[in-house]
């Protein structure tokens, strides 16, 4: 089944981004920060792929990344770069992504987030002496599988009245 | 700026230039953070701010915890209350059952005392069914197999006359109550010894004295007993109490309504009069 560009309200986008930002910055209760999901990455990717006219601008994505970096205490610029690259992927592969099956889309998202995480780890290892964290890559891949759930929740029309 | 991928080539180039600029800034931020720790003071300030925020919202957290404790204790109380109410209902039901049992025992004891007058002329019967019709007032009773109960026998309770046996089949009998539309009893006013015939009205426990002239001395609360006329049942069995005397509505006779003293119910026990019992079955002085 393919997903098409939809017309969505700004409020829905803002609410989803605020929730995603809180989870990405502060993690989930009962989960350590090392295995906490980067939900905002999935939400940005969703709106970049399927948001239609309501897509996020690059400036917004940049600011969101900075906020998450400062609030989560991670390397400043890491989330910014990750989110910018996600938007670039969305622009490049958006059409093909929208027309593909749900399973393929999930596979694509898992591959994308894992590759981006790998790129970031390589980038960081260039500046400081740090070894590759394979466990973190696995965690990122596992959270990438939740794309189907994210897509389902964001796709659903919650409004009771058709405007 | 929208990120539409299928827009014109110019827009796409513009988008990638912007992406390149932002990515470069991001890379610079990473470089400065990792190599020169440029953002460490800023991050410390944010951490301090987080501590302040945590401190300021602590009372709210405490209040929320207290509130959730209050809610949970309230829920627990409601649950306990419900349990106690259920237990109370069960004990009330048991109490009612005990009271009913006690009443039944008292009735049976009174019946036993009544039967002592003539052990051969009286036989116990137990109600197994009753009518739900307004006009046909009857009871189906059961008695000991072989008891000499015949159609025509009168059935009495400790309060007074109940009815008459109409038919018998094996160990069961069909009793027509005195309040049945087709029932009639020769009665006598205990106070004045005036004799008349009481007819069943079909209503629950209600009879009517018919053909009583207006000038006859009869008052509300007068007790009617069997007159013993005809010789089929003894004299002096209480039948009912006068409820109303209406002398204005009719020209010749009074309209006198009587309420039967016996109150037959399911699972009650009565006595069928099958032989001579004497006229001193009931102590009538208490009605005078």
- In a 13 Å sphere around the CA of B36, the CA atoms on its Cβ side amount to 7
Say if residue B278's pLDDT is above 70: no
- Give me the torsion for CA of A85, A87, A93, A95, rounded to 10°: 180
Report the number of distinct structural domains present in chain B. 1
pLDDT in tens, B82-117: 999 999 999 999 999 999 899 888 888 887 877 777
Does some domain include residue B61?
A: no
Across the interface, of A69, A75, A95, the residue whose CB is closest to B5 is A95
Does some domain include residue B234?
A: yes
- Chain A residue numbers with beta carbons less than 8 Å from the beta carbon of B29 are 66, 69, 76-77, 80
ipTM over 0.95: no
Collapsing DSSP to helix, strand or coil, A158 comes out as: coil
Does some domain include residue B24?
A: no
Percentage of residues of chain B with pLDDT beyond 70: 89
Mean pLDDT of chain B: 84
Give the pLDDT score at B251.
64
Lowest mean pLDDT among B95-99, B115-119, B236-240, B260-264: B115-119
Collapsing DSSP to helix, strand or coil, A3 comes out as: coil
Give the pLDDT score at A111.
94
B172: CATH: 2.40.10.350
Closest alpha carbon to B141 in B115, B159, B123, B117? B123
Say if residue B231's pLDDT is above 50: yes
pLDDT in tens, B57-79: 788 878 988 998 999 999 999 99
Give the pLDDT score at A163.
47
Say if residue B1's pLDDT is above 60: no
Q: What is the pTM of this model?
A: 0.49
Are the beta carbons of A40 and A84 closer than 8 angstroms? no
Does some domain include residue B268?
A: yes
Contact state of A76 with B30 under an 8 Å Cβ cutoff: yes
Which residues are CB-neighbours of B80 under 8 A, at least 6 positions away? none
| Chain length of chain B | 288
Give the pLDDT score at B158.
82
Does some domain include residue B159?
A: yes
Q: What is the 3-state secondary structure (H, E, C) of chain B?
A: CCCCCCCCHHHHHHHHHHHHHHHHHHHHHHHHHHHHCCCHHHHHHHHHHHHHHHHHHHHHHHHHHHHHHHHHHHHHHHHHHHHHHHHHHHHHHHHHHHHHHHHHHHHHHHHHHHHCCCCCCEEEEEEEEECCCCCCCEEEEEECCCCCCCCCCEEECCCCEEEEEEEEECCEEEEEECCCCCCEEEEEECCCCCEEEEEECCCCCEEEEEEEECCCCCCCCCEEEECCCCCCCCCCCEEEEEEEEECCCCCCEEEEEEEECCCCCCCCEEEEECCCCCCCCCCHHHHC
Across the interface, of A48, A77, A92, the residue whose CB is closest to B29 is A77
B→A contacts (Cβ < 8 Å), by residue, are 1-6, 12, 15-16, 18-19, 22-23, 25-35, 39, 42-43, 46-47
Say if residue B5's pLDDT is above 60: no
Say if residue B4's pLDDT is above 50: no
Task: Compute the average pLDDT of residues B203-217.
Answer: 85
Say if residue B201's pLDDT is above 90: no
CA distances A96 to A83, A156, B1, B145, Å, are: 20, 22, 22, 95
Does some domain include residue B47?
A: no
- pLDDT band with cut points at 50, 70 and 90 for residue A97: confident
Q: What is the domain partition of chain A in residue ranges?
A: 10-155
Lowest mean pLDDT among A65-69, A150-154, B131-135, B169-173: B131-135
Give the range of the structural domain holding residue B223, as residue numbers without chain letter.
Answer: 122-279
To test the contact with chain A by mutation, choose from B21, B30, B50 the residue with the greatest count of A C-beta atoms within 10 A, namely: B30
Please give, rounded to a whole number of angstroms, the shortest distance from the CA of B11 to a CA of chain A. 12
Degrees (nearest 5) of the Cα angle B120, B125, B126?
160
Task: Tell me which residue has tokens 């020169």.
Answer: B36
Does some domain include residue B251?
A: yes
CATH entry 1.10.1760 includes domain A10-155? yes
Q: Which structure tokens are listed for B205?
A: 């426990």
Lowest mean pLDDT among A126-140, B179-193, B221-235: B221-235
Does some domain include residue B77?
A: no
């Amino acid at each position: 089944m393919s997903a098409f560009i939809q017309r969505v309200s700004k409020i829905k986008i803002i609410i989803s981004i605020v929730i995603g930002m809180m989870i990405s910055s502060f993690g989930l209760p009962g989960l350590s920060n090392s295995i906490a999901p980067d939900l905002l990455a999935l939400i940005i990717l969703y709106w970049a792929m399927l948001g239609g006219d309501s897509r996020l601008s690059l400036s917004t994505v940049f600011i969101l990344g900075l906020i998450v970096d400062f609030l989560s205490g991670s390397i400043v610029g890491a989330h910014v770069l990750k989110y910018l690259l996600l938007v670039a992927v969305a622009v490049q592969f958006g059409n093909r992504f929208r027309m593909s099956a749900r399973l393929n889309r999930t596979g694509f998202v898992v591959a994308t987030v894992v590759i981006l995480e790998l790129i970031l780890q390589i980038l960081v290892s260039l500046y400081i002496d740090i070894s590759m964290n394979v466990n973190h890559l696995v965690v990122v891949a596992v959270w990438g599988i939740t794309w189907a759930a994210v897509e389902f929740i964001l796709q659903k029309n919650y409004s009771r009245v058709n405007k | 700026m929208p990120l539409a991928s299928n827009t014109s080539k110019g827009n796409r180039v513009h988008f990638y230039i912007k992406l390149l600029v932002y990515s470069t800034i991001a890379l610079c931020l990473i470089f400065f953070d990792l190599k020169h720790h440029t953002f460490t003071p800023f991050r410390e300030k944010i951490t301090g701010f987080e501590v302040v925020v945590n401190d300021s919202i602590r009372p709210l957290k405490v209040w929320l915890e207290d509130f959730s404790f209050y809610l949970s204790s309230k829920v627990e109380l409601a649950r306990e209350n419900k349990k106690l109410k259920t237990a109370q209902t069960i004990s009330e039901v048991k109490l009612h059952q005990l009271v009913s049992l006690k009443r039944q025992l008292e009735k049976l004891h009174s019946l036993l005392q009544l039967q002592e007058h003539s052990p051969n002329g009286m036989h116990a019967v137990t109600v197994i069914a009753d009518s739900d019709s307004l006009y046909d007032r009857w009871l189906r009773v059961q008695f000991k197999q072989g008891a000499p109960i015949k159609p025509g026998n009168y059935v009495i309770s400790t309060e007074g006359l109940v009815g008459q046996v109409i038919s018998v089949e094996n160990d069961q009998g069909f009793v027509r109550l005195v309040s049945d539309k087709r029932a009639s009893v020769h009665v006598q006013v205990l106070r004045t010894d005036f004799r008349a015939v009481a007819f069943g009205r079909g209503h629950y426990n209600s009879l009517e004295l018919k053909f009583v002239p207006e000038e006859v001395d009869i008052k509300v609360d007068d007790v009617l007993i069997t007159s013993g006329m005809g010789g089929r049942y003894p004299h002096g069995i209480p039948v009912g109490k006068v409820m109303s005397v209406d002398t204005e509505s009719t020209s010749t006779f009074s309209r006198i309504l009587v309420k039967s003293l016996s109150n037959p119910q399911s699972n009650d026990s009565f006595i069928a009069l099958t032989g001579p019992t004497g006229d001193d079955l009931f102590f009538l002085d208490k009605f005078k």
